[in-house]
A and B are shown apart, each in its own frame.
Chain A
Amino acid sequence: MFPAAFEYVRAHSAEEALSLLAQHGSDARILAGGQSLIPAMRYRLARPTVLVDIGPLKELKYLRDDGPGGFLRVGAMTADMTLERDKHVRARYSLLTDTSDVVADPVVRCVGTVVGSLCHNDPSGDWGAAALAARAVMVVRGKDGEREIPIDEWLVDSFQTALQEGEMAVEVRFPTPDARTQGAYQKIERKVGDYATAAAAVQLTVDEAGRVTHAGVALTAAGPRPVRVDAAERILVGQTLSENLIRAASDEARAISEPFADTRGGVDYKKDMARVLVARGLRKAAGRLNLDLGASA
C-alpha cells in the first residue's frame, strides 16, 4: 500500500531539523533510516503529515569511543552495519556486536540506525534490551539545548519514549567497558530478519577475584516495553558466577517476563525461553571473561 500523503522536508543540519520540527509542531516526525517508519506508514499504522529527513546529515554519522571511564558515542544516523563492521567495537563491545548481528537482515542493517530503533521503542526491537543491559544514555536536543536521559527513563512504554515535542535524539552513549566487562545477546527467531520470539541481553563486570561487581540483564519481547530484570541483577552482584547462581538469576527472568502469545509461540513457552536465553547469555559472557563456572559451583 502507498502511505497516506505527507510533506517531505530535508534537513541540512541538526539545527535546521530542530527548527523544522518547531515549525511543524506535533505533526512532524523525524525520518532516519526509515526501516521502521516507512513500513509503518505503508501499512498506515503511522500517518505523519510532515517528515523531516535527517538521512543525509553527516554530522550525525559517527562512532567515537572516549576510552576508559567514558562512552562509546553512536550518532543518530549511524547504521547498525557501521557498528557491526567496526573492528574496535567488535573487539570490545561483545553485547553490542552480538545485537547488531541479529537485528533484521544485513540490507536493513545497512540503513537502519541504533538511535532510530531506540526512538521507535518496539518492545520486540532488539536494541532496547541491549541498551538496558549496557546502561546506555540517550542524548536529546531541543530548542533549549541538550539533555541526557538514562535508558530506563527513555523507554517509557510500547512505541513511546521520553522524547518531547520539538526534540530530536542526536546520540546514544554506551559506557566504555573495561577489560573485565563482557556481555552477550541471545535471540530466538523463526527466520533471518524476524523479530524475536524471545531474546535476552546480559552484561557482566567482574573484579580480579572473579566476583561480579556489575550486572545488566534485560529481555526483549517480554512485555509492553523492553524490561530490565533487576532481581536477576541483584542476585548476581557480589557473587562468584556458578551454575547455581545462573539458575537463580535466570529464574527471575522467567518470573518477570510477560510475553504475548502469537504465531511465534505461547506465553509459557516464551517465558521459559526468557529463562533459557538469560542462562545462555550469562554462560557466554562468563566464557568471554574466561571464568570457570565448574570450579565455583
Chain B
Amino acid sequence: MTTAEPTDTAETTHRITLKINGRAYKQDVEPRKMLAYAIRDTGLRGTHVGCDSSSCGCCVVVLDGDTPVKSCTMFAVQAEGREITTVEGLGAPGALHPLQQAFWDQHGLQCGYCTPGMLMTSYAMLQHHTDPTDQEVREFLGGNLCRCTGYNNIVKAVQQAAQALRDDQAGKLDTLAAAATGGSQ
C-alpha cells in the first residue's frame, strides 16, 4: 500500500535519490511530498506518522548522523543528498543497537508506536551528549510523546544505552591504545 497522494496536482515531479541507512533509493516525488511518506514508500515502515503535524515526534529520523528531524515537517526534496538514518539503520533482530537493547531490557515501551521516534531522538542526542543526566534526557525528549508507557522506563533505557556506549567507546579506545603501543590485551 502506498500513501494517499494529494489530488490537486499541478506541478512538476522531481527525481530524487534518498540515501537511507547507507542505501540509495530513487523516487519521483512532488515537491510537497513529506519525507516521512517518501521513507515509508521505500518499504521501510519503521518511521511512524503519529500527529502528522510536527507535535509528537513519532516520525523523527536522523540526518547526517547527528541531527534529529521530524520527517512529517520536511519535504522529501530537501533531503536529497543527505544521509538519513531511520530506526532500521540502528540494528536488526539479533544484532540490536545498544539503545534498542536498552529499551527491551528496561521495558521502555508498551505499544511501541512512539518507539522509533524515541530511539532516533535519543540516538541524535547521544552523538552530542554521551553522559546526560536524567533531566537532560527528559528535556531532549521533550518533543516526543508517548501515550502508554510513562516516561520513566524510557529515561532508564536511554541511560543504560549511554552507559553501554561509553563502555564500548572506552573498550575501543583501550584496544586502539594497545594496538598503538604494540601490546596485546
Binding site for B on A (CB under 8 A): 2-8, 10, 31, 34-35, 38-39, 41-43, 51, 53, 55-56, 85, 104-108, 110-111, 192-193
Contacts and interface: CB of A to CB of B under 8 A. Distances in A.
Contacts of A4: 8, 32
A7 B67 contact: no
Interface of B: 6, 8-12, 14, 30-34, 53-55, 57, 60, 67-70, 73-75, 77-78, 81, 121, 124-125, 128, 139-140, 142-144
Contact of A110 (B9, B67, B81): B67
A6 B31 CA distance: 7
Contacts of B142: 105-106, 192-193
Contacts of A38: 54, 73-75
B12 A35 contact: no
A3 B32 contact: yes
A53 B32 CA distance: 13
24 contacts: A2-B6, A3-B32, A5-B30, A5-B32, A6-B11, A8-B14, A8-B77, A38-B75, A42-B73, A51-B31, A53-B77, A53-B78, A105-B142, A106-B121, A106-B139, A106-B140, A106-B142, A106-B143, A107-B144, A110-B69, A111-B69, A111-B74, A192-B142, A193-B55
A106 B69 CA distance: 10
A8 B75 contact: yes
A104 B11 contact: no
A7 B69 CA distance: 22
Contact of B143 (A2, A7, A55, A107): A107
A110 B68 contact: yes
B81 A107 contact: no
B78 A5 contact: no
A35 B128 CA distance: 22
B54 A35 contact: yes
A34 B31 contact: no
B70 A108 contact: yes
Given A5-B30, A8-B14, A34-B75, 8 more contacts: A5-B32, A34-B73, A55-B78, A107-B57, A107-B144, A108-B54, A111-B67, A192-B143
Nearest to B34: A2
A41 B30 CA distance: 15
Contacts of A51: 31
A106 B126 CA distance: 13
B32 A6 contact: yes
Contacts of A107: 57, 60, 68-70, 121, 124, 143-144
A41 B78 CA distance: 15
A35 B73 contact: yes
A35 B55 CA distance: 11
B78 A7 contact: no
A55 B32 CA distance: 16
A7 B12 CA distance: 7
Nearest to B80: A10
Contacts of B121: 106-107
B54 to A, nearest CB: 5
Contacts of B78: 31, 34, 53, 55
A116 to B, nearest CB: 13
B73 A5 contact: no
B152 to A, nearest CB: 16
Contacts of A193: 55, 142-143
Given A107-B69, A107-B70, A5 B143 contact: no
A110 to B, nearest CB: 5
A5 B8 contact: yes
Contacts of A6: 11, 31-32
Can you list the 9 inter-chain pairs with the closest CB atoms, starting with the nearest? A105-B143, A8-B31, A192-B142, A2-B6, A5-B11, A105-B142, A107-B68, A3-B32, A107-B143
Given A110-B124, A111-B69, A42 B53 contact: yes
A53 B8 CA distance: 23
- Among A3, A7, A31, find the residue whose CB has the most chain B CB atoms closer than 10 A: A3
Nearest to A50: B31
A23 to B, nearest CB: 16
